[in-house]
């Protein structure tokens, strides 16, 4: 089996949520049961997420809005907003560690604090240059908000070539040629869109331009965070086909984040199902879609419109807020038709299943419905 090109191990992401921290404190709930205590105000949102992506593979991450898909992937890439921080975990690209385990531990003494900070600063400085180089040359990212992802006061062509200017020895002319080629490759008018400002692009054009900016550095990994959000059906279908064609043509690995199972079926090789900040099932797309092992996967598939099915099977209830997901029981208990006493006694971890891995105490005895 080939070595993964991208590996995430035991990733934890904490968010700054004072209200959630106060509620937990009042209820006597431990803020951090799996590792060092977090500073007050910081609460776990993502718990021990691990996954691997192999060269040339399309790995999809699926779940309802608010399940933690984007937070997990952006955390692994070091692209979190200021209100969120990686609390633990290791990330490797092509076998080399690129993101350190960050500590948000509550400080115990000034001497201890200086020692920890010195150690962490050394590790982060050691890895930061490597991370910047890999993100600038090996990883391309398609953000969910294509229009908001651009600097509004700079032309598209200059922004698309920034990574090459920063991380390669190419001349300005060579960078311009590469950007123009990439714009043509995503079926945009080369010259006019090179000189366009973001406000002069439609949402679909902005997403194509972002794809060109990602492709211009010939990445080995493409990360697409719900890239079809807000697009008309026809435009979305065209861009989805374009993304797939580029992935196949360039033999890139890809992480595809979405809540649309139809997109997963047409694009992905393997899929991870996320719920409550955890991966609850992962496996080949065909196996997960036809023979789901987790009740949440069955629920998602039952809500998928398809020919010959008159009535959908929606999942009852609402997605829990990530900072309020219980750690003492399976997070799906309030919405699960198959919940038993054991499900309320502990939170299951991922274990090998019939195909792939599943986090469900009852997976071996359940016969769940697929498509």
What are the extents of the domains in the chain?
6-138+219-358
Is residue 10 within a helix (H) or strand (E), and if so which, with residue range? strand 6-16
Instruction: Give 112's pLDDT tier (boundaries 50, 70, 90).
Output: very low
Count of other CB atoms within 10 angstroms of residue 107: 12
Is 355 exposed, middle or buried (CB count within 10 Å of its CB: 0-12, 13-18, 19+)? middle
Can you say how many angstroms the Cα of residue 303 is from the centroid of all Cα atoms in its chain? 22
Alpha-carbon distance 196 to 174, whole Å? Answer: 20
Whether 110 has a pLDDT exceeding 70, the answer reads no
The residue among 11 and 103 whose pLDDT is bigger is 11
| Cβ contact 156:150 at 8 Å | yes
Confidence of residue 124 (pLDDT cuts 50, 70, 90): low
Tell the CATH topology of 6-138+219-358: Rossmann fold (3.40.50)
187 has pLDDT over 70: yes
DSSP state of 62: E
**Termini Cα distance of the chain:** 29
Q: Is 176 exposed, middle or buried (0-12, 13-18, 19+ CB in 10 A)?
A: middle
Q: Are strands 58-62 and 253-258 parallel, antiparallel or unpaired?
A: parallel
| Side-chain-facing half-sphere of 129: CA atoms under 13 Å | 3
pTM for this structure? 0.88
Residue 227 near residue 147, CB atoms below 8 Å? no
% of the chain residues with pLDDT over 70: 86
Look at residue 125 in the predicted model and tell me its pLDDT: 52
């Amino acid at each position: 089996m080939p070595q993964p090109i991208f590996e995430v191990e035991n990733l934890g992401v904490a968010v700054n949520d004072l209200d959630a921290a106060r509620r937990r404190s009042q209820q006597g709930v431990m803020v951090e049961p799996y590792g060092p205590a977090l500073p007050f105000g910081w609460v776990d949102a993502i718990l021990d997420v691990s996954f691997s992506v192999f060269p040339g593979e399309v790995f999809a991450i699926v779940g309802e809005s608010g399940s933690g898909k984007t937070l997990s992937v952006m955390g692994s890439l070091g692209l979190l907003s200021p209100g969120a921080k990686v609390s633990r975990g290791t990330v490797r690209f092509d076998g080399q560690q690129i993101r350190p385990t960050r500590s948000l531990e509550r400080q115990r003494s000034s001497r201890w604090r200086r020692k920890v900070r010195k150690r962490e600063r050394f590790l982060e400085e050691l890895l930061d240059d490597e991370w910047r180089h890999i993100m600038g040359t090996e990883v391309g990212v398609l953000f969910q908000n294509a229009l908001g992802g651009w600097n509004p006061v700079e032309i598209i062509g200059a922004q698309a070539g920034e990574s090459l200017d920063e991380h390669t020895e190419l001349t300005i002319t060579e960078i311009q040629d590469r950007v123009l080629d990439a714009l043509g490759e995503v079926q945009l008018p080369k010259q006019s869109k090179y000189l366009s400002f973001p406000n002069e692009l439609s949402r679909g054009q902005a997403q194509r331009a972002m794809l060109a900016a990602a492709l211009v550095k010939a990445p080995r990994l493409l990360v697409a965070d719900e890239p079809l959000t807000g697009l008309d059906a026809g435009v979305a279908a065209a861009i989805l086909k374009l993304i797939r064609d580029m992935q196949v043509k360039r033999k890139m690995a890809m992480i595809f984040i979405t809540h649309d199972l139809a997109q997963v079926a047409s694009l992905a090789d393997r899929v991870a199902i996320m719920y409550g900040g955890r991966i609850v099932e992962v496996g080949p797309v065909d196996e997960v879609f036809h023979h789901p092992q987790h009740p949440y996967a069955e629920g998602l598939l039952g809500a998928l419109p398809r020919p010959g099915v008159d009535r959908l099977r929606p999942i009852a209830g609402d997605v829990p807020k990530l900072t309020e997901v219980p750690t003492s029981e399976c997070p799906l208990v309030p919405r699960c038709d198959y919940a038993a006493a054991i499900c309320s006694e502990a939170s299951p971890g991922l274990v090998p299943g019939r195909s792939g891995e599943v986090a469900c105490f009852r997976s071996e005895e359940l016969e769940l419905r697929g498509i």
